[in-house]
Structure 1
Amino acid sequence: MSQERLEALQQGLSEQQLQGFLVPRCDEYQNEYVPAADERLAWLTGFTGSAGLAAVTNSRSALFVDGRYTIQAKQQIGNQPIEQQSLAPADVANWLCDAMREGDTLGYDPRLHTQPGLAPLKKRLDECGIKLQAVDINPVDSVWSDRPAPPSGAAHPHPQTFTGEGSASKRQRIGKILGEKNQQALWLANPEVCAWLFNIRGSDIPHLPVALSMGFLYADGSATLYLAKSAIGDALRQHLGNDVEIVSDKAALFAAAERQHVQRVWADPLLTNCWTLQELRNREIQILLERDPITVAKARKNTVELEGSRAAHVRDGAALCEFLAELPEAVKQENFGELEAVNLLRSKRELREGFTDDSFDSISGYGGNGAIVHYRVTPESSLPMREEGIYLIDSGGQYPDGTTDVTRTIALGSFPGEAKEHFTRVLKGHIAIASLRFPEGTCGEQIDAFARQSLWSVGLDYAHGTGHGVGSFLSVHEGPQRIGKANTNVPLEAGMIVSNEPGFYRTDEYGIRIENLIFVKSSDQYPGFLEFEALTLAPIERQLIEPSLLTDSELEWLNGYHAQVRETLSPLVNDHTRSWLEAATRPIAR
C-alpha cells in the first residue's frame, strides 16, 4: 500500500515540477499530537511515532527519526522502499544533497514548518545548489483520497477553580509585557497558548484537551480568536466577553489586526509556521521573533494549579495501584497481553473522578517491546504476557485539575540477572534528581548528568531526555523547561512541573524506566536555592532493587517515598490493593 502511495506522491511532485518534497509529522499549529486529518507521515510511511520526517524524491525516499524511535521505525517500515535515517538536521540535509541534483527543487508546505526548523536545511541545500520552495497545495493531500475530515468539537470554558486566574487578568498581564517590549500584538500560534490565555478547553486533538485555535492578543488586553464555527456556543461567548472577538475564518484574523492598525507583532519562531510569517510580512508588519511570553507564564503553575495537580495525582495513583495489584493474577490468564493491560489500566482510571482521557497513548511493553522507548502497542504487535520477565508501563491521565504521566517497570517473575543492577542504577539516577537542591538560575541541562552518573560509571546510557515539562490539563509534553543533554538556556523556576524519568534499554530483552512527575519549589532552608517535590504516588518495584548498590541516603529517600505512597493511597483503594500496597511499600534494608 505505501509503495503505491509513494508512487502517487512522486507523480504529484512531477505535476508540480518538484524533484522532492518534505513530509513532517505535524500540523499547522506545530502540535505534538495531531488530528487524524494531519497524520500525513503515518499515511505515507506507516510510521506512527510522535516525531519524524519523510523526504521523497523522484527515485528515493527516506524516513528520519530520533533515538527514541529507531526500533519502532524499522518495524513499521518493514520491507517498503523507504530508507531509515537519523533525524539530526545535518543527516537530513546530507541525504537530500545525495538524493537530489544541483538545480533541483525541494518543495515544502509552509504551514507545516517553522523558520528555525528549515534554516539549517536551507543553508546546506544552498551549498548543493538545491532550491527550497514553498507550495500552495500540499501534494500529499492531493493524493490522499480518503483523508479524514478536520475535527469539529466544541470549545468550552475552563473554570477559574482549576486555573487559579481569570482570562481577563491573564490577558492584561501579558498585554503589559507587550507594552514593555513596544509591541502592539502577540501572535497566538497554537491551541495550547490559546487554551491557557482564554481559559478554554476542547477535544479536537487526541489526548490534548484543546480546541484548534489561533489569534492575536493586543497590548490593551483585547484579542481576536479564531475557532471553527462548530466550536462556538453561547456559554463560550459569555465566558470570553466583549473584549475577545471570535472569528471563524483565518483570513479574518489578519483583517482584524489591520483594523487595529497593528504594525508590530511579537511571534514565537518555534511555534509560528512559515506561512503565517509570510502573511504578516505581506502586510508590511514588523515581526519580533522571540519566545512567546505565554510559554513561560504557562509553565509556572500557580498555587491553585499545583494543588489541583496534587489531587489529580492522588486519584491517578490509586487507579495505577489497583491495576498493579491485579496484574499478577491477570497475567495468569491465557489471553492477557500488552493491549489487555492498557485496557485494564484505562478501566481503573475511568472510575476516578474527573478522568477525561489518557494523556498519551500508553506505552505497554513486555520483554523486548519494553526496549522500544516510545513503543505503541497495536492488536498486531501485542505480546502475550507470562509469569516471567520484565514489563514496562508508561501512561497518564487527563483530569480537569491536572495532567499525569508515570512509568513503572514490573518484574512478572524470573528475569535476566543483569536487570537488577540496571534497574538499581536507574533508580539511583531517579533519586539523584528527586533529592537534588540547586541554585536559582540553574537550567535542566546542568543537572541531567546526575540522572546518568550511575549508568555512566559502568559504560551505560539512555537515548532520551531525563525530563520534560507537563501542562495543567494541557499537554503532557510542555516547554520550555526540560532536563536533558541538549542546551535549553531555560532556568528551572518555582512552579514548573517536570518529569524525572531515567531509563535503560537492552534491545530485544527488556526496557527499564522509572518516571515520576515532580515540581520545582523554593528551598525553605536555603534562600536562593530550589528543590523538587514529588507529585506521582506509586510503589517502585522492590524485586528489581539491589539494596547493596544504594547508599544510606538513597535508601532513606526510597523508604520515605514509599511511606508517603502507602499513607496517602491506602484509604482510597480496595482491600486487595491495600494489602498489596502494604507489601509493595515495606521498608527496604540491606
Structure 2
Amino acid sequence: MNPTRLQRLRSELVGQQIDAFLVPRGDEYQNEYVPAADERLAWLTGFTGSAGLAALARDRNALFVDGRYTLQAAQEIGSQPIEQQSLSAADIANWLCDALNEGDTLGYDPRLHTEPALAPLKKRLTECGILLRPLDDNPIDRIWENRPASPNGVACPHPHTFTGEDSASKRQRIAQLLTDKKQDALWLANPEVCAWLFNIRGSDIPHLPVALSMGFLYQDGSATLYLADGASSDALRQHLGREVELVSDKPQLFAAAERQHVQKVWADPLLTNCWTLQQLRNREMHLLLERDPITGAKARKNAVELAGSRAAHVRDGAALCEFLAELPKAVQQENFGELEAVQLLRSKRELREGFTDDSFDSISGYRGNGAIVHYRVSPESSLPMKAEGIYLIDSGGQYPDGTTDVTRTVALGAFPAPAKEHFTRVLKGHIAIATLRFPIGTCGEQIDAFARKSLWDAGLDYAHGTGHGVGSFLSVHEGPQRIGKAATNVALEAGMIVSNEPGFYLTDEYGIRIENLIFVKESADYPGFLEFEDLTLAPIDRHLIEPTLLSDSELEWLNRYHRKVREALLPLVNEQTQEWLQAATKPIARGEVL
C-alpha cells in the first residue's frame, strides 16, 4: 500500500468524519474486469487480482483475497503494513469489529457494493455498535491524481450471423417474463446484460467486448439504454430501432422510467449496486429482487452461438499448437521468459481470423510461478525459462463468434518425479468430468467431486472451482452456472458452456492445470440425461502422463480426444507444427513408457 496514498486517504477520511473505509475491486457495474479509471484497489494496494477488498481502519490495514490469490497477494503486498486475510464476509466483519471501536463509522461507496454482499457485514457490525455510512463521493477519486478518464468507445451492432436471434425477438421474449411476473420494467444492471439483449458489443473494458451501459426493459418490449456520450452512431441507432431510446446521462434513465409510469421494477440484487436500488426506492418504485432472467437466457447458447464457438475454438487451437510447437526451441534462447511466452502466443492468435483481444490476462507460470493459481506475469516477475521444469499457460481469445479459455501444462525437459503422478491424477479428474452423464436438474456442485476424487485418493486437492461459465464473445467468466464446492442451486442446462479445469499446485515447485471448455447437451441415448462435449482442441502433454494410473476407458478417451485434435488442426497449422502435432497426439498404448 503506497504510504503517501494511504496517508492522503486517511486525511480524506478524517475530513469526512469516517473511521474506516472499504475499497472493493469492482466498479459500479459489478464487472470482473474494470476500466483503468476504476482500478482503485490496485492503485491503493498494488494488488492486481480480479477479486479482493481492502479495509482501512484507524491504525490497521487489511487486504482480503480468496485462495486463488494467496500467493500473488503476498508477492504484490511485499513488506507493506497490510494484513492478508481470507475473502469471506465473516472474516471481513470480524476484522473490522476488532479494528474499530463501538460508535465508529465505516464508510463505503454505495455504487461499488451490492446489498446482499453488505448484508452479513452490516449485521455483524451493528452488533458491534459500528455504523455503516454510504458516501456521496468516493474519497479515493478525490485524491487520485492523473486518474485515467472513463472509457467512451463506440458501441457496435453484433450481427445476427453470430447471435442467432435479433434484439427485438430477445426483448419480446424477456418482456413476456415481465408480464408473467406482473412487473412494469426490468433493470438492466450491467454491460453484459445489455450487450446480449441489444446485440451490441464495444471496447470499454479490457478483455470484455462491451460498451459501458445500463438501462430499462419495459413490459411492451421497448427499452431505455444508457450509453456514454459519443458511444452511439447512426449505424447503432438504426440497429436498435425506434423502440430503444438512447440516453447519455444516467439520471435520465430514471426519468424515462417515470415517463413510462413504471411502478414495479425487477432488479437483480447480485448485479445492481446499492446506489441504484436507492434511486428506485426514492421514486417509490416497488422492487422485485430476484435473479435477472437475462443471465440464464444468455448462458443457454443457441445453435448459432454453439456453432460459432466450435469454429472459434478450431482457429484458437491452431494458434495454441503453433505456440506449443515453437516453445521447446524458444526456451533455448537467451532472454526468453514467461513474458516473452505470452507475447509469442499473442502473436499466433493475432494471425487467426477475427481475433480481437485476449479473453483475460494470460497466466504464464514457469516452475514455482505456475503454483500461483492466478499469477499475472510482469516485467519484474517474469522468470527466464529453460529446457527443464514445468510450465503452465492459461490463456484465451476473443473472437466475434466465440470466447476461448484453455490451460495446458507442459514439460520443457527434465522435471521433478512427483509431477507425473500429480499430472495424471489431474487428468483423471478432467476425464471424469468430460465423460460424465447426469440427470436433468443436476447442479455444478453435485458433480464437482468427480474432478477431485483421484486427487482426494492421494490426500490432495486444489483451492479453486472446477469450472465457470463462458460467454459468446462476452465474458470469459459468466454465470449463473459453475462447477465447484460452493452451492449455486443452478442446474446445468443444454447449451451452457463451462470450463473443465481441475489442477494441483506444489508451492515453489510447479503448477498443474488441464482446462478445456465444454458445453452441455442432451444425451442421445438416455432421455432425461445430459452430458458434455469438448470445444477446446489442443494436445495434452504425453510426457507428463503415467499410463499405468489410467484405466482402459480413460486411455480410450485420451486417444480419441487426441485423434479429434489432430484431424481438426493438421490442415490449419504450419509444416513445423504439423510434425509436432503428429507426435503430440500419437496414441498411447497400455504399458507404454512415456
TM-score per shorter chain, which class? over 0.9
Residue 329 of structure 1 is matched in structure 2 by: 329
Residue 228 of structure 2 is matched in structure 1 by: 228
Query: Any residues of structure 2 matched to 1:144-543 within 5 Å, and which?
Result: 144-543=144-543
Residue 181 of structure 2 aligns to which amino acid in structure 1?
K
Deviates more, 1:143-152 or 1:437-446: 143-152
Shift of 1:268: 0.3
User: 3-state DSSP class of the match of 1:343?
Assistant: helix
Residue 451 of structure 1 aligns to which amino acid in structure 2?
A
RMSD in angstroms over aligned alpha carbons?
0.5
Residue 51 of structure 1 is matched in structure 2 by: 51
Shift of 1:146: 1.5
Shift of 1:224: 0.1
User: 3-state DSSP class of the match of 1:230?
Assistant: coil
Shift of 1:589: 1.1
Residue 367 of structure 1 aligns to which amino acid in structure 2?
R
Residue 15 of structure 1 is matched in structure 2 by: 15
Q: Distance in 2 between matches of 1:225 and 1:280?
A: 16
Residue 91 of structure 1 is matched in structure 2 by: 91
Residue 277 of structure 1 aligns to which amino acid in structure 2?
L
User: 3-state DSSP class of the match of 2:520?
Assistant: strand
Q: Distance in 1 between matches of 2:137 and 2:69?
A: 29
Shift of 1:35: 0.1
Q: Distance in 2 between matches of 1:545 and 1:434?
A: 17
Shift of 1:152: 1.1
Shift of 1:569: 0.3
Which 4+ residue blocks in structure 1 deviate beyond 4 angstroms? none
Residue 104 of structure 2 is matched in structure 1 by: 104
Shift of 1:391: 0.1
Mind listing any 5+ residue stretches in structure 2 that lack a counterpart? Answer: none
Residue 37 of structure 1 is matched in structure 2 by: 37
Residue 136 of structure 2 is matched in structure 1 by: 136
Q: Distance in 1 between matches of 2:406 and 2:11?
A: 45
Answer yes or no: is the 8 Å Cα contact 1:359–1:404 preserved in 2: yes
User: 3-state DSSP class of the match of 1:361?
Assistant: coil
Residue 467 of structure 2 aligns to which amino acid in structure 1?
G
Residue 572 of structure 1 aligns to which amino acid in structure 2?
L
Q: What fraction of aligned residue pairs are identical, expressed as a percent?
A: 81
Q: Distance in 2 between matches of 1:91 and 1:143?
A: 29
Residue 554 of structure 1 is matched in structure 2 by: 554
Residue 4 of structure 2 is matched in structure 1 by: 4
Residue 115 of structure 1 is matched in structure 2 by: 115
Residue 567 of structure 1 is matched in structure 2 by: 567
Q: Distance in 2 between matches of 1:81 and 1:149?
A: 30
Residue 423 of structure 1 aligns to which amino acid in structure 2?
F
User: 3-state DSSP class of the match of 1:210?
Assistant: coil
Shift of 1:88: 1.1
**Post-superposition CA distance 1:284-333 (Å, at most 9, x none):** 00000000000000000000000000000000000000000000000000
Shift of 1:82: 1.1
Shift of 1:34: 0.1
Residue 81 of structure 2 is matched in structure 1 by: 81
User: 3-state DSSP class of the match of 2:68?
Assistant: coil
User: 3-state DSSP class of the match of 1:229?
Assistant: coil
**Post-superposition CA distance 1:203-246 (Å, at most 9, x none):** 00000000000000001000000001110110000000000000
Shift of 1:57: 1.4
Shift of 1:143: 1.1
Answer yes or no: is the 8 Å Cα contact 1:359–1:475 preserved in 2: yes
Q: Distance in 2 between matches of 1:98 and 1:430?
A: 43
Shift of 1:4: 1.0
Residue 576 of structure 2 aligns to which amino acid in structure 1?
H
Q: Distance in 1 between matches of 2:223 and 2:265?
A: 13
**Post-superposition CA distance 1:437-482 (Å, at most 9, x none):** 0000000000000000000011100000000000000000000000
Q: Distance in 2 between matches of 1:95 and 1:140?
A: 22
User: 3-state DSSP class of the match of 1:68?
Assistant: helix
Shift of 1:344: 0.2
Answer yes or no: is the 8 Å Cα contact 1:3–1:81 preserved in 2: no
Q: Distance in 1 between matches of 2:578 and 2:89?
A: 50
**Post-superposition CA distance 1:92-132 (Å, at most 9, x none):** 10000000000000000000000000001001101110001
TM-score, with length taken from structure 2:
0.99
Mind listing any 5+ residue stretches in structure 1 that lack a counterpart? Answer: none
User: 3-state DSSP class of the match of 1:173?
Assistant: helix
Shift of 1:269: 0.5
